[in-house]
């Protein structure tokens, strides 16, 4: 009979389990949010899942008056009117 502790798929986590976000990725996500980036954009730039990015930055409101946010809205508006 096989040992139940060795069956099943291998885990990608190091011994000891998950220890939380990598500090440099977390800080980068917070910085991007302060600069007005959306959650999907943060997730793409940092390289994490959208749900992870949301959990990291949900306490920070998005700055809708930033230059980047205004440019993003203008581009979206142009795409919608040209369609």
Q: Cα separations (Å) of 23 from 27, 32, 57, 66? A: 6, 14, 13, 25
Nearest to 57 by CA among 34, 79, 78, 82: 34
Report the pLDDT value the prediction gives residue 8, as an integer from 0 to 100: 47
Confirm if 24 and 48 have CB atoms less than 8 A apart: no
Confirm if 22 and 13 have CB atoms less than 8 A apart: no
Residues 25-52 pLDDT 10s: 999 999 998 888 889 999 999 999 999 9
Residues 53-63 pLDDT 10s: 999 999 888 76
Report the pLDDT value the prediction gives residue 43, as an integer from 0 to 100: 94
pTM for this model (two decimals): 0.55
Residues 1-13 pLDDT 10s: 555 555 544 445 5
Neighbours of 43 (CB within 10 A): 21
Report the pLDDT value the prediction gives residue 64, as an integer from 0 to 100: 62
């Amino acid at each position: 009979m096989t040992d139940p502790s060795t069956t099943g798929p291998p885990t990608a986590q190091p011994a000891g389990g998950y220890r939380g976000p990598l500090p440099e990725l977390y800080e980068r996500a917070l910085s991007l949010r302060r600069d007005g980036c959306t959650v999907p954009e943060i997730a793409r730039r940092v390289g994490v899942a959208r749900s992870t990015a949301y959990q990291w930055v949900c306490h920070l409101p998005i700055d809708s008056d930033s230059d980047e946010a205004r440019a993003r809205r203008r581009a979206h508006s142009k795409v919608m009117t040209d369609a």
